[in-house]
Structure 1
């Protein structure tokens, strides 16, 4: 145990001090910061200001419709629009439009006495912001309903008439054939965010730390340092020490990236943009986070043992990329299956992938975040993954013990088997 801790500490300290680790971490943290601030930069460079958008409202031709629009707009719970009334399209309106005091103005175009008039929006641009148009259309729909009914309906009846019809999705329960309702409110944006963050972090950890494990083993082997190391520490202790040490490095990077994200999102102008996503972390399902972390750890160790075994078979770093390609393709396949199946998390493909150890760490995280996996599916998936880690760990340990002593060209499976028998492994 003491030798294992020494290998872990040596691997961690040695890798943290390298320029490649520092530069990679710094570049990724910088990219995260830029990505979080992209919406803010777009608003700044497009000349858009924060706060409600001011729109002029000309009421000379239809004063009753202008008053009605102002009344219905005032009833909106959240408004990003401010209406400023003008009696007519005179010099003051043109002056305010030119100075930017208002983004544009609305006017009702006369039609026949019985028809609702057309509504024109005039601005210096040939487009209108999507949220402004949505808000105006909602208020104008209420105005049109009130105009057509000629006051025969109350405000409550007009509001009910304009309210969209909600469709509740129901799912047939497996117990006694009873119906259990599952409407759109059961979808948790927080669980989705946690799920998406976990699969991204797992994929990045596998790709980055896995390749670092294989590269370090190959570098030590090519420089003949391995011959010195195995005299003081067993190959198995070296392999698992490197795997655990690299895992700690991956956790350190994750903590740094999470800190960068939290710091940037805590800025006032970024907090405003988060309000529209309704992220309430008090509503997070603890099972999603706990089981997600379990799959995260198990998935890492499954791939890490394979990267270490493959790295021990390569004598030159130039051959490493080709050697680890099959493992890289497996991790990419798992990521793509999970990503492209988010619209159908309970599909046959996802259910089958739950029992494939190379895919289950990502696919099960997706199903727990936005799907409905049964308890027995989760248990069987974890058991299969644990058995696979044991089997591949045992096989990788044997390959590692043999591979670190084989130099020259990459051995074939037949040569590797003979070497394992010769070393009585």
Structure 2
């Protein structure tokens, strides 16, 4: 036990004090800060004011209705600028002088609504979208006005339809994980799922690679020959795995702290309130599942990375050796990412019971769907059993692999060596 603690402590000191850990933490922390502040930053760079759109002052019914539409808004995105001399040259000169951003041409048609053309120096997609929405409302108002409807009938037509979304469980009743979620809770669950999937993938790829790299480096420098005389190989392996887990959790803790500090800033709280984002809607059980699946997923892959690292004698060969594990982790990650909006798809359901994919897929189903309790329990049981099996297999491989040098041994050579060393 003392040796295990010494290995964990050595791993922590060796990694937490490195420049790469500090620089990576600072860079990712800065990225998190920028992302959280993005709504506020965009508001600062917003030039403010409405777009100035030129129109011909011909007394057109459509222009008058459009002008009335924008007059009702507190902060309209578009302001109409009327021109008595509505020639092409006049409009172009106004654009050059900065008086307008573009101009709208209306061509009367024998029947129906006028044909509309928006002209500007740039693409003007934002102005076009805004004008389309406004003109759609104007067209509806003009049609209703000409139809002779009463004010009550008009109000009934314009009354918005509000649909409250609630996620329910159609099958299983009490034997399911959740009991229904509101639209806000659904959005927050999806956010937790998305963040956890990314953190798990980063944890597996970064810490797994570090475990394998450290073991291979010790072998290639012959330091391993000194270490195994004082510390049992299995103690080394599990000490490195646990040490790297603490390193990874420390870094995640730093990221969470940075995120919380930035979220609590008054201007950010106000922005998220305007966007109807309420962090109080995060289900505590989701956080528990996030921790459980993160830890189980980490241990499954970490033991395999350690075993692969023990078989490689040169760091140059490590990338090719860990490639299968990298593809497995990437497979689970992409299955979850592309299945964010289809958590009940057959592929997601099948992947939630495959141990290499279940940390991603089953957590996705818990957050964005409502799987039965027995499904979650079975997925966790399969994942835990896989960790025990691969942990046992990796321990045997590691105990033998650290003593083998030269080219990477084949499975036949490894089995012979394991019998020779009684591993």
How does the TM-score come out when normalised to structure 2? 0.81
Is the contact between residue 67 and residue 80 of structure 2 (CA under 8 Å) also seen in structure 1? no
**In the alignment, structure 1 residue 17 sits paired with structure 2 residue 12:** no
Residue number in structure 1 paired with 2:409: 411
Q: CA deviation at 1:183?
A: 10
Residue number in structure 2 paired with 1:116: 113
| Cα displacement string for residues 393-424 of structure 1 (whole angstroms, at most 9, x for unaligned residues) | 12211222222222233233233233333333
- Where in structure 1 are there 5+ consecutive unaligned residues? 177-181
Is the contact between residue 213 and residue 243 of structure 1 (CA under 8 Å) also seen in structure 2? yes
Q: CA deviation at 1:196?
A: 1.3
| Cα displacement string for residues 13-59 of structure 1 (whole angstroms, at most 9, x for unaligned residues) | 11223344445445555666777889999999xxx844343334647
Is the contact between residue 201 and residue 333 of structure 2 (CA under 8 Å) also seen in structure 1? yes
| Cα displacement string for residues 281-340 of structure 1 (whole angstroms, at most 9, x for unaligned residues) | 222233322212211111011100111111112222222222212211211221222222
- Aligned equivalents of 2:282, 2:130: Cα separation in 1: 31
- Aligned equivalents of 2:268, 2:98: Cα separation in 1: 25
Residues 104 and 49 of structure 1: is their aligned pair in 2 closer, same or farther, counting only changes over 3 Å? farther
Residue 72 of structure 1 is aligned with which of 35, 52, 69?
69
Residues 316 and 326 of structure 1: is their aligned pair in 2 closer, same or farther, counting only changes over 3 Å? same
**In the alignment, structure 1 residue 150 sits paired with structure 2 residue 145:** yes
How does the TM-score come out when normalised to structure 1? 0.81
Residues 192 and 102 of structure 1: is their aligned pair in 2 closer, same or farther, counting only changes over 3 Å? farther
**In the alignment, structure 1 residue 60 sits paired with structure 2 residue 57:** yes
| Cα displacement string for residues 238-293 of structure 1 (whole angstroms, at most 9, x for unaligned residues) | 11111111112222333444456667778899889867864322222333222122
**In the alignment, structure 1 residue 252 sits paired with structure 2 residue 247:** no
Is the contact between residue 164 and residue 183 of structure 2 (CA under 8 Å) also seen in structure 1? no
Residues 137 and 161 of structure 1: is their aligned pair in 2 closer, same or farther, counting only changes over 3 Å? farther
Q: CA deviation at 1:119?
A: 3.8
Is the contact between residue 360 and residue 381 of structure 1 (CA under 8 Å) also seen in structure 2? yes
Residues 282-361 of structure 1 aligned to structure 2 (within 5 Å): 282-361=280-359
Q: CA deviation at 1:88?
A: 3.1
For the residue of structure 2 that corresponds to 1:245, the secondary structure is helix
**In the alignment, structure 1 residue 81 sits paired with structure 2 residue 47:** no
Is the contact between residue 184 and residue 281 of structure 2 (CA under 8 Å) also seen in structure 1? no
Q: CA deviation at 1:94?
A: 7.2
For the residue of structure 2 that corresponds to 1:386, the secondary structure is helix
For the residue of structure 2 that corresponds to 1:174, the secondary structure is coil
- Aligned equivalents of 1:101, 1:262: Cα separation in 2: 44
- Where in structure 2 are there 5+ consecutive unaligned residues? 174-179
- Aligned equivalents of 1:264, 1:186: Cα separation in 2: 21
Is the contact between residue 189 and residue 278 of structure 1 (CA under 8 Å) also seen in structure 2? no
Residues 400 and 83 of structure 1: is their aligned pair in 2 closer, same or farther, counting only changes over 3 Å? same
Residue number in structure 1 paired with 2:170: 173
Residue 191 of structure 2 is aligned with which of 193, 196, 209?
193
Q: CA deviation at 1:225?
A: 1.8
For the residue of structure 2 that corresponds to 1:232, the secondary structure is coil
Q: CA deviation at 1:62?
A: 3.0
- Aligned equivalents of 2:232, 2:374: Cα separation in 1: 39
- Aligned equivalents of 2:58, 2:323: Cα separation in 1: 72
Is the contact between residue 51 and residue 80 of structure 1 (CA under 8 Å) also seen in structure 2? no
Residues 343 and 34 of structure 1: is their aligned pair in 2 closer, same or farther, counting only changes over 3 Å? same
Residues 180-259 of structure 1 aligned to structure 2 (within 5 Å): 185=183, 188-258=186-256
Q: CA deviation at 1:353?
A: 0.9
Residues 130-141 of structure 1 aligned to structure 2 (within 5 Å): 130=126, 132-141=127-136
Q: CA deviation at 1:124?
A: 3.6
- Aligned equivalents of 1:57, 1:184: Cα separation in 2: 44
Is the contact between residue 142 and residue 162 of structure 1 (CA under 8 Å) also seen in structure 2? no
Moved more, 301-310 or 373-382: 373-382
For the residue of structure 2 that corresponds to 1:173, the secondary structure is coil
Residue number in structure 1 paired with 2:176: none
For the residue of structure 2 that corresponds to 1:83, the secondary structure is strand
Residue number in structure 1 paired with 2:124: 128
Residue number in structure 1 paired with 2:7: 7
Q: CA deviation at 1:349?
A: 1.2
For the residue of structure 2 that corresponds to 1:231, the secondary structure is coil
How much is the aligned-residue C-alpha RMSD, in angstroms? 4.0
Residue number in structure 2 paired with 1:179: none
Residues 161 and 191 of structure 1: is their aligned pair in 2 closer, same or farther, counting only changes over 3 Å? same
| Cα displacement string for residues 213-256 of structure 1 (whole angstroms, at most 9, x for unaligned residues) | 01111111222222222232222221111111111222233344
- Aligned equivalents of 2:39, 2:375: Cα separation in 1: 40
| Cα displacement string for residues 160-184 of structure 1 (whole angstroms, at most 9, x for unaligned residues) | 54678788999882369xxxxx999
